A and B are shown apart, each in its own frame.
Chain A
Amino acid sequence: MDEQHATKTTGCVVDEEWVGRVVVVSVSGVVDMLTAPQLEQAIRAALDKKPGGLVVDFAEVEFLASAGMGVLVAVHDEVTPDMRFCVVADGPATSRPLKLVGIADLIELYATRDEALSALSA
């Protein structure tokens, strides 16, 4: 057992998954100023593959700081109007701060991944 790895609890894990032409970038763990660049890189890598839609899934995110919110706004500002982009977030650590600073008014927010996917295929 790698002890150093076991004690590192503040990182994040980012996965990419395709549902048809929609790419889902799902994140678990912590999105703060330390890990936000990792999220941004993963989203850019997904966008490079020219998806029809992008879902950023924060369902497993336990902490979201303004650095992560900045990534969402940057992506929102860059995607072309013909590509749908939405975020999955629900709870005090994610959807609450996104609503408090008005990002929920800018970016579509869904409580579950299923809701996001059906909105994008609609």
Chain B
Amino acid sequence: MIDSTSRADVADAERFARIGIPADAESASRIREEFAGWLERFFGLDPIRSSDLVLAINEALANAAEFAYVTTDRPGTMDLIAHYDPDSASLTATIADQGVWRMPNPGPPARTRGRGIPLMEALSDRVTIETSTAGTQVRMQWAGVARP
């Protein structure tokens, strides 16, 4: 859990939060659409920037949905919190799960998989991925995010 005091659903000018979402493909898809709606409502992004942000967020959610709980015997949840800082015109998104980080398989990677992290790196200004026994936290940042 990113912040246990967070309300489950927030979408105002500075913050978009979805806490405790089921870590599955349906939820990843739905939250992506809601996040895209939030961007459209509060920011004046050009089509490339807005497309980049939505895809990066999707890939982080999709990774959590696909991998975080594969070794656990019950379905888990994931959280997305995006925060806008008007002073620095930057947007920070954190995607967290309480699952187990899946180490890449040894040997040559499957060519059909594994593009999530390269995409997150290419589509955001900065990515950090923190893994611990408590779960995985992906933080992405975008600078120069303008208001309309």
Contacts and interface: CB of A to CB of B under 8 A. Distances in A.
B15 to A, nearest CB: 24
A34 B115 contact: no
B30 to A, nearest CB: 7
A101 B118 contact: yes
Interface string B38-71: 0000000001101110110011001001100000
Nearest to A76: B111
A71 B112 CA distance: 7
Contact of B122 (A9, A32, A100): A100
Interface string B102-138: 0000000001110110110011000000000000000
A28 B111 CA distance: 25
A98 to B, nearest CB: 10
B123 A100 contact: yes
A69 to B, nearest CB: 6
Contact of B62 (A65, A92, A100): A65
A33 B119 contact: no
Interface size bracket, B side: 20 to 34
Nearest to B56: A97
B12 interface: no
Nearest to A62: B51
Given A63-B54, A97-B55, A77 B26 contact: no
Contacts of A96: 48, 51-52
A70 B112 contact: yes
A67 interface: yes
Interface of A: 9-10, 30, 32-34, 63-67, 69-71, 73-74, 77, 91-93, 96-97, 100-101
